[in-house]
């Protein structure tokens, strides 16, 4: 767990009485701090699908952030364009509130 996550968690801890936890999280910042943006561009296909494409797929298949969280926490094998497989990146936090915020942010692109 890095320092930023600690700070985020601390902030959530202090504020959870007055607001839903994820509202306090800068999801975009966490997404980028975790290098997710290096493979997931807002609109362009990079190594991973674009955020627009992921959001559209989830909408079409009626999937929600719980499914997205699986992808960022399970370290499952992902299949690449060239047919090879590699382990997906695992997000640097076990805080479900933060994971949910990131997933919601992704799916709202």
Does position 2 bind another protein by CB under 8 A?
A: yes
Q: Which stretch binds ligand HEC (CB under 6 A): 2-10, 15-23, 87-95?
A: 87-95
Site string for ligand HEC, 43-62 (x = CB under 6 A): ----xxx----x--x-----
Map the chain to HEC letters: CCHHHHHHHHHHHHHCCCCCHHHHCCHHHHHHHCCHHHCECCCCECCCCCHHHHHHHHHHCCCCHHHHHHHHHCCCEEECCCCCEEECCCCCCCCHHHHHHHHHHHHCC
Residue 41 touches which of another protein, ligand HEC, none (Cβ within 5-8 Å per kind):
another protein
Residues near ligand HEC (CB under 6 A):
34-36, 38-40, 47-49, 54, 57, 68, 71-72, 78-80, 88-89, 91, 102, 106
């Amino acid at each position: 767990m890095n320092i930023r996550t600690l700070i985020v968690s601390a902030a959530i801890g202090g504020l959870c009485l007055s607001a839903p936890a994820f509202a306090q999280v800068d999801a975009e910042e966490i997404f980028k701090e975790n290098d997710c943006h290096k493979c997931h561009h807002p609109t362009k296909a990079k190594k991973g699908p674009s955020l627009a494409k992921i959001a559209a797929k989830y909408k079409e298949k009626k999937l929600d952030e719980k499914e997205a969280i699986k992808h960022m926490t399970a370290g499952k094998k992902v299949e690449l364009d060239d047919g090879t497989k590699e382990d997906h990146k695992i997000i640097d936090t076990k805080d479900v509130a933060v994971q949910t915020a990131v997933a919601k942010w992704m799916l709202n692109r």
